[in-house]
Amino acid sequence: MKAYLLDRYGKGRALRLGDVPDPVPAAGQVLIEIHATALNQLDGKLRDGAFKPIVPYKPPFILGHDLAGIVVGVGTGVRRFRVGDAVYARPRDLHIGTFAERIAVAEADVAAKPANLSMVEAASIPLVGLTAWQVLVEVARVQPGQKVLIHAGSGGVGTLAIQIAKHFGASVATTASAANADLVRSLGADIVIDYRTQDFSEMLSGYDVVLNSLDGTTLETSLKVLKPGGKLISISGPPDPAFAEAQGLNIVLRLVLRALSAGIRRKAKRAGISYSFLWMHADGGQLAELGTLIEQGDIRPVVDRIFAFDQLNDAMTYLESGRAKGKVVVTTPAGSTEDGKVST
């Protein structure tokens, strides 16, 4: 089969399109013909080598964390899926590889594709949807009437997080450019702050939760808008000791991450705020819950552009330009004729 391989780590390196053996599903795995895959900032960071100590992939390997497609085979013990099922998934760490025509994925990581979504739309959901769900539902436990600030509301995570927070009854503020204000309002944002001309820390106060996906300065400034007892949750770092322990990292890495996060943890503690770093995990059950909300019309995907499979490196370049609203999706040969117009 065709797949995009990272031959060696390097900032901005192009991926190589090559032939690799077809995957064979092991016990408990589902073999999926991929019709569409989505790109994430995580793919670029892995390519650059930023997370080698945390997820030590050995080149050459196939990148890619999102997929929608059709089940074409099942391993022994698989009970929930059969050949012909339309599914979507975020494969677990160390088993990624959706920049390819097929992949074998653990059954536990897979969910039925929402019936009202195309393959392209479904492929845009898994990583960012699970990230937003795990921040807001699993960690923050957002409640009706709470106030939530979501940074970068027009990005992949932000567009889903706004909708999830609103579904659970929260009041939502978000940062975005003026050009994207209408988009984030259409997703449910109650307050939109133009990050180019306005200071969110001067306009907001008494917030219960902040979801940070930006830099360290934004992270620290976010402490000002939270009330005592509030929760500051970052998906962009720095990783904290709890994350290091959960990942089973060695003592040296644990000490390094403890030191890296010491400043923000200390400042948060002084303000009576909890700080945590979230590294999302694969979870087919949570994807199924998201699928239910999508089918009910409570959540909708936001797809910025669609690229053909042979344009995947161009899609990576576009994603890293920072201009994308929502997700950038790539169709494989199996899905190229069924879902939307491909970018040129």
Please identify which residue in the block is written with the tokens 């074998």: 104
Confidence of residue 54 (pLDDT cuts 50, 70, 90): confident
Residue 35: closest CA among 125, 102, 93, 84: 102
> Per CATH, which fold does 2-125+301-331 belong to?
Quinone Oxidoreductase; Chain A, domain 1 (3.90.180)
Q: pLDDT, tens digit, for every residue of 15-40?
A: 999 999 999 999 999 999 999 999 99
For the chain, percent of residues with pLDDT exceeding 90: 89
Q: Do 112 and 87 contact (CB within 8 A), yes or no? A: yes
Q: Do 341 and 335 contact (CB within 8 A), yes or no? A: no
Average pLDDT, the chain: 95
Q: Output the pLDDT for position 343.
A: 43
Alpha carbons 174 and 194: distance in angstroms, whole number: 9
Every domain of the chain and the residues it spans: 2-125+301-331, 127-277
Q: Output the pLDDT for position 256.
A: 87
Confidence of residue 286 (pLDDT cuts 50, 70, 90): very high
**How crowded is residue 58: how many other Cβ atoms within 10 Å of its Cβ?**
6
Q: Output the pLDDT for position 342.
A: 46
Q: pLDDT, tens digit, for every residue of 117-150?
A: 999 999 999 999 999 999 999 999 999 999 999 9
- Per-residue pLDDT, averaged over 220-243, amounts to 95
Hey, what are 194's tokens? 């133009």
Q: Which range has the worst mean pLDDT, 189-193, 256-260, 297-301, 310-314?
A: 256-260
Q: Three-class SS of residue 190?
A: coil
Residue 340 has pLDDT above 60, yes or no: no
For the chain, percent of residues with pLDDT exceeding 70: 98
Q: Output the pLDDT for position 240.
A: 87
Q: pLDDT, tens digit, for every residue of 138-185?
A: 999 999 999 999 999 999 999 999 999 999 999 999 999 999 999 999
Long-range CB contacts for residues 3-6, cutoff 8 Å, separation at least 24: 3/62, 3/97, 3/99, 3/100, 3/101, 4/62, 4/63, 4/64, 4/99, 4/100, 4/312, 4/313, 5/59, 5/60, 5/61, 5/62, 6/46, 6/47, 6/57, 6/59, 6/60, 6/61, 6/62, 6/63
| Domain 127-277 indexed as CATH 3.40.50.720 | yes
Q: Output the pLDDT for position 244.
A: 86
Alpha carbons 134 and 136: distance in angstroms, whole number: 6
Residue 104: closest CA among 27, 161, 174: 27
Categorise residue 66: left if φ over 0, alpha if ψ from -120 to 50, beta otherwise. Answer: beta
Confidence of residue 69 (pLDDT cuts 50, 70, 90): very high
Q: Output the pLDDT for position 337.
A: 65
Alpha carbons 38 and 317: distance in angstroms, whole number: 13
Categorise residue 297: left if φ over 0, alpha if ψ from -120 to 50, beta otherwise. Answer: left
As beta bridge partners, residue 86 has: 70
